[in-house]
Amino acid sequence: MPVTVHDLAAWKARGERFIMLTAYDALTARVLDEAGVPLLLVGDSMGNNVLGYPSTLPVTMEEALVLTAAVARGASNPMIVGDLPFGSYQASPEEAMRNAARLVKVGANAIKLEGGRRSAEAVRRISDAGVPVMGHLGLTPQSVNAFGGFRVQGRGQQGDELLADALALQEAGCFAVVLEAIPAELGQRVTQALDVPTIGIGAGPHCDGQVLVITDLLGLTPDPTPRFVKRYADLRSTIAEAAQRFAKDVSEGHYPAPEHEYH
C-alpha cells in the first residue's frame, strides 16, 4: 500500500520515528522502495548531486519533471515528494499551483517548497487543490544568497520567527515540515508545537522524522559534507575500486573471459 499523509499523521500520533531519503533516478528509487523507505524526495539537491551545478538555484522545472517521473516509475510504495525548484513558485500562488500540478502529473504524490509565512498563500492554493504540501524551513538552500552562505538558522530571536513560520505553514495546509540546520532545542520546540510531523536534517534528534540526501548517506558526495551527515556506506571507494579492477582485468586480458561471450 502506498504511503499517504494519513500514515505520517498516525506515525506522529504514535511517536513512531520515520525516514525520508532523496532519490533522483528509477533504479535507486526501486532499491529504496524494496528496502522499505517510506518517503522519497526528488529534491532540488539534484542540482549539486546529479546535474553538476554549484547549488540548487539553477535547477529548472523541466529537470525536476524528468527526474521526478523517473523516480515515480521506479518506486510504487513510497510517497514521492516532488520539490519545486527556485523560481517556480515565488512569483504567485497561481504559478506555484501550475508547477505543482506539473509535478503531480508525472507521478509526485506531494510537493515540497521552501519558506514560511511568505510561502503560506502558495501552500494554501496548492493544498486546497488536493495536493499535499511539505514545507521547508531553516537553512533553505534556495535562499543561500540572502543568508550569506550555509549557516545555521534559527538562533536566538530567529527561533521565535521560525516557530511562527512553522505554525503558518501548518495553518495553510502543510502535512509535514522539513527543518534544516537549526539548533536541536528549536527542532524540539517546533516539533512539540506542531500537530503535523517535522522531518529534520541537522535539526537534532527530537524531530518526528529524519531526512538525508542519498549521495551523502551512501558516501558518494566528496568532502566536506555538513557536520550533520552520517555516511552509511563508502560508494566513492567502491566505485573507484570497481573501475580500476575492470581496467586491470582488460589490460591483463582477464576480461572478457569465455563465460562472458554471447551465444
Residues with catalytic annotation?
180
End-to-end C-alpha distance for the chain, whole angstroms = 42
Which listed range, 43-51, 67-75, 159-167, 190-198, lies at the site for ligand KIV (CB under 6 A)?
A: 43-51
Binding residues with ligand KIV: total (CB under 6 A): 12
Distance CA 141, CA 74 (A): 27
Of 40-48, 92-100, 243-251, 252-260, the segment contacting ligand KIV by CB under 6 A is 40-48
213 forms part of the interface with ligand KIV (CB under 6 A): yes
Beta strands in the chain (DSSP E): 18-22, 39-42, 79-83, 110-112, 133-138, 176-180, 198-201, 209-212
201 binds ligand KIV (CB under 6 A): yes
Backbone angles phi, psi at 80, to 5 degrees: -95, 120
The amino acid occupying position 254 is: H
Cell (9 digits) for 137:
524551513
Q: Binders of ligand KIV among 65-104, rule CB under 6 A? A: 83
What's the CA angle centered on 44, arms 40 and 45, to 5 degrees? 85
Measured in whole angstroms, how far is the alpha carbon of residue 153 from the centre of its chain?
18
Q: Of the candidates 28, 29, 33, 44, which one interacts with ligand KIV according to CB under 6 A?
A: 44
Nearer to ligand KIV, 37 or 213 (CB): 213
Nearer to ligand KIV, 56 or 127 (CB): 56
Q: Which is nearer to ligand KIV, 47 or 107 (CB)?
A: 47
Cβ atoms within 10 Å, residue 36:
9
Contact code string over 148-167 relative to ligand KIV, x by CB under 6 A: --------------------
CB of 136 to ligand KIV, least distance (A): 6
Binding flag, residue 63, ligand KIV (CB under 6 A): no
Cell numbers for 197, please give them: 510531523
Residues in contact with ligand KIV by the rule CB under 6 A: 22, 41, 43-45, 83, 136, 178, 180, 201, 211, 213
